[in-house]
Structure 1
Amino acid sequence: AARWRAAAPPQFVFCLKAWQVITHPPTSPTYRRTRLDARDREHCGQFGFNPTVRWAWEQTFAVAQVLRAAVVVFQCPANFRPTAENVARVRRFFEKAKRGRFHLGWEPRGEWDPALIAKLCHDLELIHVVDPLVTDAAATGPIRYYRVQGAQRRVAKPDWRRLQQACAGRPAAYCFFNTSLRAADARRFKDLISE
């Protein structure tokens, strides 16, 4: 992380995703590449505030500090549903997790009620992370964090204006493209908002 920070221009803003060990259950196919011991894996994910998840947060926190990150995003798997147990886990994790100078973004996916998302984001001081072309941010804080999703997706002409409007008038708005033309889309959007 220190090499990345040193190599980046001084004004470069880093944002990162929290390690999946915090958010995703060990059955997630993305664990194939991890080198975690099988005994540790059984304690992974779903914001369980156990030693394994706390360790994963310490690792993520340390990287965010070195990078002087602006935002750390906690992207939930779609199967992390808004059950009473999961809501309690989210609350417990964010109430107990050490905070840095960076913002914390939360990306619930699936069938979460916007009012519940707004309440959790308000109570826990989280940025609601969304794809603004699919849904509006439920939380009303001044900072926005958008992730335009869809590996096969191409951003259509009318969507550029919607993205621009979603970011307008904010002290900070982060917009990331997880699309087929991610780098080109990011450059195009940068040019559009710079006009």
Structure 2
Amino acid sequence: MQFFVGTCGFPKSRRYIYNTLDAVELQDTFYNMPDPEKMAKLREEAPEFHFTAKVFQGITHPPNSPTFKRTRGFKPTDKHGVLKPTKENLELWQQFVDAIAPLRPEVLVVQTPPSLKPEPYIYDFFASIVGKWKIAWEPRGETYKDLALIQKIAELGVVIAVDPLKRDPIHGHFYYFRLHGLGKGEVNYRYKYSSEDLERLATIVRRLSGESVYIMFNNVYMYEDAVEFKRLLYQRQKI
């Protein structure tokens, strides 16, 4: 089992992150379609680093999502978003993977909004794109409550991304964890993980079996928490 501890985005300089952590999940790729030249330069900058990338919101979010305020050069239509298996959405997926390809990301992270209903067509979308890329899906809200749909999609080889301090991991060929802080609701970005939290997380991670596990922190203190967790995890590994 390989462990990759990292952050969602760069909370410090890139060089600093490369030297202290294992992985980064790119966030800019959610707000705007990736620039292939920039992706190539990023890979050249860190040839051995473990990059993952959050999938463009034009594929995952509804056209009225406020997050599109940060998007340049793309205007969603009612045929885009929310994992619809439409011609337009599948073409947008192809555009995304072609643009991100120079980075050679290890995982593409599909995060859907809490407002998304557990529609059967979600399965059809994933069935249309699985194959070449490792995909992790983070369902939220009502969608996560449809365990039959989630299990069916997991059987396609899509890994279900969870916060293991909140929800039990679903077994797959690898694991992808996104930690948004503890407390009420889906996220609590201002949460600082305690030593007890990180000890519990390490216990969960060490009990897993499989190819690899990505542990990605996504809170205000993401860098400090990731560094401390990495230290704790590897310290335990040596014992």
Alpha-carbon displacement from aligned partner over 1:20-56 (angstroms, at most 9, x marks no partner): 1111001110011223554x43322111122331232
Find the aligned partners of 2:212 and 2:74 in 1 and give their Cα distance. 39
Find the aligned partners of 1:166 and 1:60 in 2 and give their Cα distance. 33
TM-score by length of 2: 0.72
Q: Pick one of 121, 126, 132 that aligns with 2:164.
A: 132
Deviation at 1:143, TM superposition (A): 1.2
Find the aligned partners of 2:114 and 2:125 in 1 and give their Cα distance. 19
Aligned residue pairs total 187
TM-score by length of 1: 0.86
The aligned amino acid for 1:2 is A
Q: Pick one of 214, 217, 239 that aligns with 1:177.
A: 217
Unaligned runs of 5+ in 2: 1-38, 181-187
Alpha-carbon displacement from aligned partner over 1:79-103 (angstroms, at most 9, x marks no partner): 1122xxx2x2211111112632x31
Query: Could you say which structure has the greater relative contact order, defined with CA pairs below 8 angstroms and 6 or more residues apart?
Result: 2
RMSD across aligned positions (CA) = 1.9
Identity over aligned residues, as a percent?
30
Find the aligned partners of 2:138 and 2:130 in 1 and give their Cα distance. 19
Which residues of 2 match residues 8-87 of structure 1 at below 5 A?
Answer: 8=46, 10-36=47-73, 38=75, 40-82=76-118, 86=119
Deviation at 1:64, TM superposition (A): 4.1
Deviation at 1:59, TM superposition (A): 2.8
Find the aligned partners of 2:111 and 2:136 in 1 and give their Cα distance. 8
Match of 1:159 in 2: 197
Unaligned runs of 5+ in 1: none
Quick check: 73-82 or 161-170, which moved more?
A: 161-170
